[in-house]
Amino acid sequence: MGFLVDLNRIIADAAGRQGFASVGFARLRRLEEREESYRRWLAEGRPGTMAYLAREPERRFDPRMLDPAFRSVVSLTYPYAAPVAPRIDWRAELRGRIAAYALGRDYHDEVTRRARNVADALTVASPGAIARAYVDTGPVFEREWAAEARIGWIGRNTMLLNRERGSYFFLAEIFTSLELEPNAEPYGEFCGTCRRCIDQCPTGALADGFLMEPRVCISYLTIEHRGAIARELRPKLGEWIFGCDICQEVCPWNGDASTGDANPDLMPSLPDLLALDDAAFSRRFTKSAIKRAKRRGLLRNVAIVLGNTKNPAAIPPLARALAEESEALVRSHAAWALGNIGGASARRALESARRRNSDPGTICEISDALERC
């Protein structure tokens, strides 16, 4: 027992040096309580276009199927800043909003490097041990193992919550062959009767019973969804072009999470983004989590938000995109946006584009937009 406790302390110290805020330990087991609900979730098609979530579900239920030598998990939280969005009128200034976690260097690279350093410290302390780090990679139930390791609870917004740190953190797991001493006491659940996240979700993605419908979640739509976004959902995106922080911002446990500093990078210029070609997109986002959406997905989102501004100043960049953009997905959403803004200038751009376009989806969007104009 003493050796295991000392090893836990060594791991916790190494995690602290790497910037991790919370460390928990749990023995691995099969998460039987998740099997029925997850299989039903898959059968109902709730993952949408995230087909990878249906691959090898057995490995999610029991990490020992990743490696039969695994015995324990070290669960870690790595905090990220929650800066304040600039106090500007996004409609007037043609600005869009990105989720705070996507600022700066791609967290996959940064947090994985730090988690691997902790894993290395574990194997140095116990030669011959196996330790493998995961950060949003591989078939791992991250929140469930974090809750099992007693570092938080899964809240109504379906995120892991911690009373001291809210939810503004990334999760990392280290699976190891060592039988580490688990955290003894359950963390508890502290959402109480609060339902702010449910009530203030623009698309109704959250529901009672700690449930989410990913297919209408703004984060899913702007990042994971690859095709056209349903017309009825486009106005509900509001200003969000990549991800969404609403269910975090309204959570009382995140009340003190803000840094208090306004970060202009949270609200980039929409016309500037819409003008990015492939090379410019790569230069700007190669080391950013935003590359996950790909250029066509990000510009699709940008077109929608420009339409949501209802600002006539958005017509020129949208008209250029409709006339010159190579991606039909972007052109079709630019057509919708022009119809959403309306007016004579938007109608002229749509009529001109209708004569030149051969893509059926774009033509359909142009026709619909002209009717709304």
Catalytic residues: 136
User: Please, are residues 84 and 263 in contact by the beta-carbon 8 Å criterion?
Assistant: yes
Cβ neighbours around 268 below 10 Å, total: 18
H helices of the chain, in order, are 2-17, 32-43, 57-61, 90-93, 107-125, 142-148, 196-200, 218-219, 246-249, 270-274, 278-285, 294-309, 315-324, 328-341, 344-356, 360-372
Query: What is the rounded CA–CA span in Å between residue 136 and residue 154?
Result: 17
Alpha-carbon torsion (323, 325, 329, 333), positive or negative: negative
Q: Helix, strand, coil: what percent of the chain each, to 5?
A: 50, 15, 35
Given the structure tokens 């940008």, which residue do they identify?
302
Residue 52, amino acid:
Y
In whole angstroms, give the CA distance from residue 243 to residue 219. Answer: 4
Please identify which residue in the block is written with the tokens 């202009």.
264
Rounded CA gap, 8 and 183, in Å? 10
Which residues have CB under 8 Å from 28's CB, separation 6+? 62, 63, 64, 70, 71, 72, 73, 175
Parallel, antiparallel or unpaired: strands 22-27 and 72-79 = antiparallel
Nearest by Cα to 318 from 294, 336, 295, 296: 336
CB-based contacts of 327: which residues, under 8 Å, 6+ apart?
295, 296, 299
Q: Are 269 and 92 in contact (CB under 8 A)?
A: no
Helix (H) or strand (E) holding 276: none
- Residue corresponding to tokens 């029991």: 62
